């Protein structure tokens, strides 16, 4: 990183992941900027920037953790403080974007990641660097440039260098939604692919709420009939309609008997596996490990089907609640995540968790953006499946 003009770069960070911020600054030959973020007794967030940021390029390193709401407020206040202090540009380096799983409309909820994107743009951020978004389409929520870096080269290298006899492996998607990512890994490593299909419990989208209440049949048909009569134009007596529908057009029209037809009930089959894992090393891949019950259930099924070893690889290791204990008691042999999210406490609780350092990728992205170099080198060989 020694060819970087560092005189006008300032790296600051909040409380979410100071270790990562220090590693990035060290790789770039910089010292972390003087920024203090603390909370008052009433839990309000206070930001104090001791160094001048006027005319500087500011890089705020703040990731998402289990304390997501405080992480977001710290980032927004730091960005706004830099904006009002006349910083030239303010780049948010957010390795794990909080609320990224809430990127679809669910029942009477809302698309929270869209709201978060608007808040970030309003706070003064001029650019976002993130990594392995839950859905790539989230980039469209922002009105500023977004660079969605990939951790897959690090994970692929780990498979090739640290998993003995990885040629005897099969890449496993723990549900059909992860099949694209798993297929990308399988093609790059020239390995087989297996997909686990089915559910153990009712999906969130199938939970019953008040909107499933059907209208009364008689009342609905009366209302429908009245509304149709009101919409028809008045026809004078002793006259025939000029444009009466022909009998052939009526025969091509299909109508339901009464009311609006309802969706058939989904019947989710029990967990089944498509593909052969007998006597093979099973490698599950995903973008996030948070609640681990699904991973444990998938691992138990892989073990029952003859898998000799089971690995789980993911970019973000949130590992909420009692995830370390569940993983430690599970048939999973090793869990490999990057350090986009701090998880040192979880590693003390579960010896199976291993970490890959991705600070060099973030440092290189910052260097290229600051020097106005192309980012395409960091996305070489990336396909739509990644």
Average pLDDT over residues 124-129: 98
Give the pLDDT score at 57: 97
Give the pLDDT score at 106: 84
Q: Measured between alpha carbons, how far is 129 from 116 in angstroms, rounded to an integer?
A: 15
Residue 228 reports pLDDT greater than 50? no
Residue 101 reports pLDDT greater than 50? yes
Residue 218 reports pLDDT greater than 60? no
Return the biggest CA–CA distance within the chain: 94
In the chain, domain spans: 9-149, 153-198+270-356
Average pLDDT over residues 56-73: 97
Same fold, 9-149 and 153-198+270-356: yes
Q: Does domain 9-149 match CATH 3.40.50.970?
A: no
Average pLDDT over residues 83-104: 96
Residue 264 reports pLDDT greater than 90? no
Burial class from Cβ neighbours inside 10 Å (0-12, 13-18, 19+) for residue 114 reads middle
Contact 301, 175 (CB under 8 A): no
Among candidate residues 112, 111, 145, the one with its CA nearest the CA of residue 128: 145
Lowest mean pLDDT among 8-12, 86-90, 103-107, 341-345: 103-107
Give the pLDDT score at 151: 95
* pLDDT tens-digit readout, 132-142: 999 999 999 99
Give the pLDDT score at 206: 47
Could you tell me which residue, 231 or 139, shows the higher pLDDT? Answer: 139
In sequence order, which residues have a C-beta less than 8 Å from that of residue 29 and are 6 or more positions away? Answer: 1, 2, 4, 6
Q: What's the whole-model pTM score?
A: 0.83
Residue 237 reports pLDDT greater than 80? no
* pLDDT tens-digit readout, 163-203: 999 999 999 999 999 999 999 999 999 999 999 988 755 44
Q: Does domain 153-198+270-356 match CATH 3.40.50.10490?
A: no
Give the pLDDT score at 26: 95
In sequence order, which residues have a C-beta less than 8 Å from that of residue 277 and are 6 or more positions away? Answer: 170, 172, 194, 302, 305, 306, 307
pLDDT band for position 222 (cuts 50, 70, 90): low
> Residues of the chain with pLDDT > 70: what percent?
83
Residue 152 reports pLDDT greater than 60? yes
Contact 289, 314 (CB under 8 A): yes
Residue 238 reports pLDDT greater than 90? no
Average pLDDT over the chain, rounded to an integer: 87
Print burial letters for 14-37: b (CB count within 10 Å at least 16), e (below 16): bbbbeebbbbbbebbebebbebeb
Give the pLDDT score at 108: 85
Residue 291 reports pLDDT greater than 50? yes
């Amino acid at each position: 990183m020694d060819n970087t003009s560092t005189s006008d770069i300032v790296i600051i960070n909040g409380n979410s992941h100071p270790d990562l911020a220090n590693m990035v600054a060290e790789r770039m030959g910089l010292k972390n900027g003087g920024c203090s973020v603390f909370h008052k007794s009433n839990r309000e967030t206070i930001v104090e920037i001791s160094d001048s940021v006027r005319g500087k390029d500011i890089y705020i390193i703040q990731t998402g953790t289990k304390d997501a709401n405080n992480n977001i407020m710290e980032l927004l206040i730091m960005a706004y403080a830099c904006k009002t202090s006349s910083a030239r540009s303010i780049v948010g380096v957010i390795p794990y974007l909080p609320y990224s799983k809430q990127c679809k409309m669910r029942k009477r909820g809302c698309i929270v990641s869209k709201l978060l994107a608007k808040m970030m743009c309003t706070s003064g951020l001029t650019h976002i660097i993130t990594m392995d978004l839950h859905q790539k389409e989230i980039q469209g929520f922002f009105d500023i440039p977004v660079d969605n870096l990939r951790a897959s080269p690090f994970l692929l290298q780990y498979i090739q260098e640290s998993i003995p006899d990885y040629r005897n492996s099969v890449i496993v998607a723990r549900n059909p939604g992860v099949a694209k990512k798993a297929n990308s890994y399988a093609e790059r490593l020239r390995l087989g692919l297996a997909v686990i299909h089915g559910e153990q419990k009712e999906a969130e989208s199938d939970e019953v709420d008040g909107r499933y209440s059907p209208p009364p049949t008689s009342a609905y048909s009366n209302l429908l009939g009245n509304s149709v009569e009101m919409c028809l134009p008045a026809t004078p007596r002793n006259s025939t309609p000029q444009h009466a529908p022909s009998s052939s057009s009526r025969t091509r029209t299909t109508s339901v008997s009464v009311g609006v037809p309802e969706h058939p009930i989904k019947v989710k089959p029990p967990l089944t596996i498509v593909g052969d894992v007998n006597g093979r090393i099973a490698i599950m891949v995903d973008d996030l490990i948070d609640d681990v019950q699904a991973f444990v259930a998938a691992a138990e099924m892989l073990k029952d089907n003859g898998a000799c070893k089971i690995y789980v690889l993911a970019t973000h290791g949130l590992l909420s609640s009692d995830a370390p204990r569940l993983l430690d008691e599970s048939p999973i042999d090793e869990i490999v995540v990057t350090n986009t999210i701090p998880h040192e406490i979880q590693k003390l609780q579960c010896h199976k968790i291993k970490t890959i350092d991705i600070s060099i990728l973030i440092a290189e992205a910052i260097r290229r953006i600051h020097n106005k170099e192309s980012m395409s080198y960091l996305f070489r060989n990336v396909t739509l499946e990644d």
